[in-house]
Amino acid sequence: MAKREIDLSLVDVENREMRLGSIISWDGSAEELVDNSRYELRSRDKRKSLEGCSGKKEKGCRLCELNMPFNQQTMCTHSIVGCQVGNIPDCILIEHSPIGCSAIHARFNLGYKMGLARRGKKIENIQIFSTNLLENDMVFGASDKLRQTILDAHNRFSPKAIFISMSCSTAIIGEDIESVAQEMEEELEIPIIPRFCEGFRSKHWITGFDISQHGIMRQIVNKHPQKQEDLINIIALWGTDYFTEILKPLGLRVNYMIDMASFDELAQASEAAVTATFCHALGSYMATALENEYGVPQVDAGQPYGFKGTDDWLRSIAKIMGKEDIIEEYIKAEHERVLPKIEALRKKLSGIKGFVATGSSYAHGMISVIRELGIEVDGSIVFHHDPVYDSGKSEQDTLKELVDTYGNIDHFTVSKTQQFQFYNLLNRVNPDFIIIRHNGLAPLAAKIGIPAFAMGDEHFPVGYDGIIRVGEALIEILARKKFGQVLKRHVKLPYTDWWLSQEDPFILARNPGILDEVAEPQLLESLTEDASPEASIIKSA
């Protein structure tokens, strides 16, 4: 095991596909993915070459990907940066871009307001600024508009820090947001943090989390920390505060980051006694940076899902806190408390098959929880896969832990919210329900009669009670199958019969030539008709 290098002296982050060898398109079993990932090896030889798919030594040690010629719309790193550093109540994010890049703000606002409510903070609208760039700006540059918007943000809200995010268009025309940020930082005397998150830069939106965390580490986190021995950083999103209750016996106060955290809450990250997260794929970069820079230890465990995951996670934190003496009793008492309810749920859910489609290591946790409930899982999707996390800790190898604890998953697919594949993937295993995050896939499941549990509150499955919460919710979700069956009987999918009849969701990658066997062109019908006297009776406007 070796810690990954994170260089906070650099303004930018390396894309995750280069840093960790992350992939977005793969199909096989979970066991194969564990084997191919070679977590331990990658962890040891970070910068050394590993044999790549082509058999040559390749930088970035990629897993073999199935490149598809067909893609459907997804998300970008710019969106992720918006829903991270744009969700800090006393800081402002400026999106330096045409207005379309800001079109998702009303959706962000829904999550943000819900998050503020869950954390007991004042509920008010999100304030993300756009420089609203137009055609002339693409020709002549837009630094003055950026300066104006920085001043507007400062004058309107006196934020404690201002972030600037780069978009595709401003990156292509070469806007120097770093220089403007430096210059305005001197003028306004608050951190002004440029973020390079143009949508085209990384093949997966997940890099946007690293970009956001890197900026906070560099320019907000307190560089001269005063240790707070009872503080635990939980790198999270908008989830309900279940962690406080879970961690109470260890005497820990929770410091949630990044969403809804204030400037000061982010600054104190370096003062915490320990860092943990609900999802290593999301939190590992910052947890590792805090460990490397400020000696804040991170959990030596997977994630707090299911019995074993939660046990290991609690033991790891207890060990760091020097409270190993009390933890076993707590774990035992918790097992005894929840087990009767879980047994009852197992009976109710017996014979049910589930399918998970979420972000990568979160999916590993989610599958653990539903398998804990006795639900069969023989197929799932992760939206990307990291063969290793930044921590390099083998204890955090969540996919391996899933397979070791709960067994293999025969059909384990890496696919970035590609709805057309989802049809074939679901047909392959025919589940009774899906658990899903991100948009675009669940509507298809509904149309083929499969109800979806949209896991909007990502903390819902956390801990021992999380198993019960998920089980109870699933009983409600399964009832919705009625609605799906109605849709299935009456609604047509937008895909051709040819595609719907394909058994292999990756056939286009394995056999690209198949596309050249295109159907006969649907020739345009001629519109010409003879002129007739009727045309002349029409009055003119």
Binding to other proteins in span 143-172, by CB under 8 A: 145, 148-149, 152-153, 155-159, 167-169, 172
Nearer to other proteins, 407 or 443 (CB): 443
Q: Report whether 123 contacts 116 (CB < 8 A).
A: yes
Q: Report whether 23 contacts 414 (CB < 8 A).
A: yes
Return d(Cα 180, Cα 360) in angstroms, integer.
36
Q: Report whether 126 contacts 105 (CB < 8 A).
A: yes
- Which of these ranges, 123-131, 323-331, 401-409, 481-489, lies near other proteins under the rule CB under 8 A? 123-131
Could you tell me the two tokens for 392? 């390099």
Binding mask 77-116 for other proteins (x = CB under 8 A): xxx---------xx------xxxxxxxxxxx-xx------
Return d(Cα 216, Cα 267) in angstroms, integer.
8
According to CB under 8 A, which one of 20, 34, 66, 76 is a site residue for other proteins? 76
Nearer to other proteins, 22 or 131 (CB): 131
Min CB(113)–other proteins separation in Å = 9
- Which of these ranges, 30-38, 64-72, 218-226, 272-280, lies near other proteins under the rule CB under 8 A? 64-72
510 near other proteins, rule: CB under 8 A: no
Judged by CB under 8 A, the chain residues 419 through 458 that form the site for other proteins are: 419-420, 439-441, 443-444
Min CB(523)–other proteins separation in Å = 4
Phi, psi for 436 (deg, rounded to 5): -145, 145
- CA-based end-to-end distance of the chain: 79
Return d(Cα 303, Cα 360) in angstroms, integer.
12
Return d(Cα 384, Cα 363) in angstroms, integer.
10
Judged by CB under 8 A, the chain residues 469 through 498 that form the site for other proteins are: 492-498
Judged by CB under 8 A, the chain residues 361 through 420 that form the site for other proteins are: 417, 419-420
Binding mask 200-239 for other proteins (x = CB under 8 A): xx-x-x----------------------------------
Q: Which long-range contacts (CB under 8 A, 24 or more apart) does 136-140 make?
A: 138/169, 138/173
Min CB(494)–other proteins separation in Å = 5
132 near other proteins, rule: CB under 8 A: yes
Q: Report whether 313 contacts 299 (CB < 8 A).
A: yes
- Which of these ranges, 130-138, 179-187, 222-230, 281-289, lies near other proteins under the rule CB under 8 A? 130-138
Min CB(199)–other proteins separation in Å = 4
Binding mask 233-272 for other proteins (x = CB under 8 A): ----------------------------------------
Site size toward other proteins (CB under 8 A) is 100
Judged by CB under 8 A, the chain residues 10 through 29 that form the site for other proteins are: none
Q: Which long-range contacts (CB under 8 A, 24 or more apart) does 183-187 make?
A: 184/147, 184/150
Min CB(79)–other proteins separation in Å = 5
Which alpha helices (H) appear in 271-359, and where do they start and end? 280-294, 306-321, 324-348
Contacts of 204 (CB under 8 A, 6+ apart): 16, 17, 22, 24, 383, 384, 416
Report the 3 state secondary structure along 414-428.
Answer: EECCCHHHHHHHHHH
Q: Report whether 386 contacts 24 (CB < 8 A).
A: no
513 near other proteins, rule: CB under 8 A: no
